[in-house]
Amino acid sequence: MHRTDVCLAPAQGLTLSELGTVQECQKHCPECFRSSLFFDPENAFGRCKQRPAPQGPACRRFIAEEAAASGAKCVLTHSPTWIIDPIDGTCNFVHRFPTVAVSIGFAVRQELEFGVIYHCTEERLYTGRRGRGAFCNGQRLRVSGETDLSKALVLTEIGPKRDPATLKLFLSNMERLLHAKAHGVRVIGSSTLALCHLASGAADAYYQFGLHCWDLAAATVIIREAGGIVIDTSGGPLDLMACRVVAASTREMAMLIAQALQTINYGRDDEK
């Protein structure tokens, strides 16, 4: 696995503005840098001779899909928190369909600070850092700026529920957008990559009920830094734990989508 230009093991005592690169981590702690930071950051700190292992909750909170599947609680606190989906597009992965990604977001005081999404089969690395812009393989990302639904490509995902009532609502939402003259509606099987397509300007809007915080965290930073909007399906501010989202290239487009949707209830990540 290639190391990115985002340090995945913050050095103790440095501010967020000082954490920016792997080079900083290497300079402040060469032995720590050479350890397996990505896979075992706490033990890597523990082996470091130049400083003691971090104490307390800092650098120790993780929210991840596999952990949640094993019964771990998804609670976003004020502590620095990694929010990770190691394989987004699991069904695609199983069937060797090449739309698969790794998603890593980072939040401090419940504010999303940066996100990294790696499109594995195309070797595209999407990055975003709050206030610093969004990029794909070093090229700046910008949303399309589209405001006209009749010219918009809208992306969505089906969600995990397959009961008749949920499928009826899902298909009804798609039908509503098509009746509102959306240029097209697409499902690609990876919410994180769909959101990256929005950030890059290849699509104009995205909505979904039934996605999770690990699907949204990294992509939200990337979209916002590319000039886009990420909100709740009610039209209010995004709630990362609410399992629902509308994202768009403009606020006008986001509100058009939100107003057309019927709610599908998936509960909350922090209540499961």
Given a contact cutoff of 8 angstroms between Cβ atoms, the answer to whether 193 and 101 are in contact is: yes
CA atoms 236, 241, 246, 249: torsion sign:
positive
In DSSP notation, 5-64 reads SS-SSPPTT--GGG---HHHHHHH-HHHHHS-TTT-HHHHHHH-SSSPPP-SSTT-EEEE
Residue 246 β-bridge partners: 207, 231
How many Å separate Cα 234 from the centre of its chain?
A: 20
DSSP category for residue 100: -
Given a contact cutoff of 8 angstroms between Cβ atoms, the answer to whether 209 and 263 are in contact is: yes
Given a contact cutoff of 8 angstroms between Cβ atoms, the answer to whether 244 and 232 are in contact is: yes
- At 258, the amino acid letter reads A
- At 164, the amino acid letter reads P
> What is the four-CA torsion angle of 150, 151, 157, 162, rounded to 10 degrees?
20
The Cα-based distances of 175 to 14, 169, 262 in angstroms read 51, 10, 11
How many CB atoms lie under 10 A from the CB of residue 95? 10
> Which amino acids are annotated catalytic?
65, 85, 87-88, 90, 215
